[in-house]
Amino acid sequence: HITYVTSRMLTDQIGYIKIDEFSGSALEEYQQAVDQLQQQGMQSMVLDLRDNPGGFVDYAVEIADELLPQATVISVRDKNGNTKEYTSDNDMMEFPVAVLVNGNSASASEILTAALQDNGRATIIGEKTYGKGIIQSHFNLSWGGYLKLTTASYYSPNGNAIHEIGVTPDIEVSLPETLQENPSSLTDQNDTQLQKAIEVLSQ
């Protein structure tokens, strides 16, 4: 069994949830983590999507739906200009949210980040994301091979392209070079991005 989500309380009121990848049981693990942290008194949440390479877009859309009121989550546009929108319903969790991202946050994690940012639902903290926002389709060929084509692109609720552009945080904070070179030495206390999130949520 692979665990995709870790969570804990940072303070009496601030919860922390890290999603490593939007795969497997990640959505269910996230929902369980939110429930458990709320039972422990969570009034605001840090959502850590750093180094999250993406995965199932449906998971990102579902999490956005749970955090947003009725709004556009993401739109998909093909080369002919045909657009499909993913939207959220009116039910939402109302606690404040800060999202942590970095240059390795890609694909589905960027879709969730852009949805929360454009709808003014969360403060995005960290470094500019990777910039992977395309849909690739596979077509089986008669001789046993397959063809992979890029067939559409993702756009944020405000109509901004994600691919090769990424999402720019509201508050740009980098980790010290020594921590980037030696991630195992990262702690809550020296994690400058996490500390900024705690500061924002404590205001």
Question: Predicted confidence band at 6 (pLDDT cuts at 50, 70, 90)?
Answer: very high
Cβ neighbours, 10 Å, residue 108? 29
Taking 90 as the threshold, does the pLDDT of residue 180 lie above it?
no
- Known catalytic membership, residue 142: no
169: left (phi over 0), alpha (psi -120 to 50) or beta: beta
Please pick, among 20, 48, 65, 118, the residue that the annotation labels catalytic.
118
- Known catalytic membership, residue 105: no
Cβ neighbours, 10 Å, residue 57? 19
Taking 90 as the threshold, does the pLDDT of residue 183 lie above it?
no
Taking 90 as the threshold, does the pLDDT of residue 17 lie above it?
yes
- Known catalytic membership, residue 148: no
CA distance 65 to 73: 7
Q: SS3 for 58?
A: helix
Please pick, among 7, 44, 105, 107, the residue that the annotation labels catalytic.
107
pLDDT in tens, 55-97: 999 999 999 999 999 999 999 999 898 999 999 999 999 999 9
Taking 90 as the threshold, does the pLDDT of residue 41 lie above it?
yes
Model pTM score: 0.94
Question: Predicted confidence band at 130 (pLDDT cuts at 50, 70, 90)?
Answer: very high
Please pick, among 132, 156, 191, 196, the residue that the annotation labels catalytic.
132
Q: Which residues of 145-156 are buried (b: 16+ CB within 10 A; e: fewer)?
A: eeeeeeebbbbb
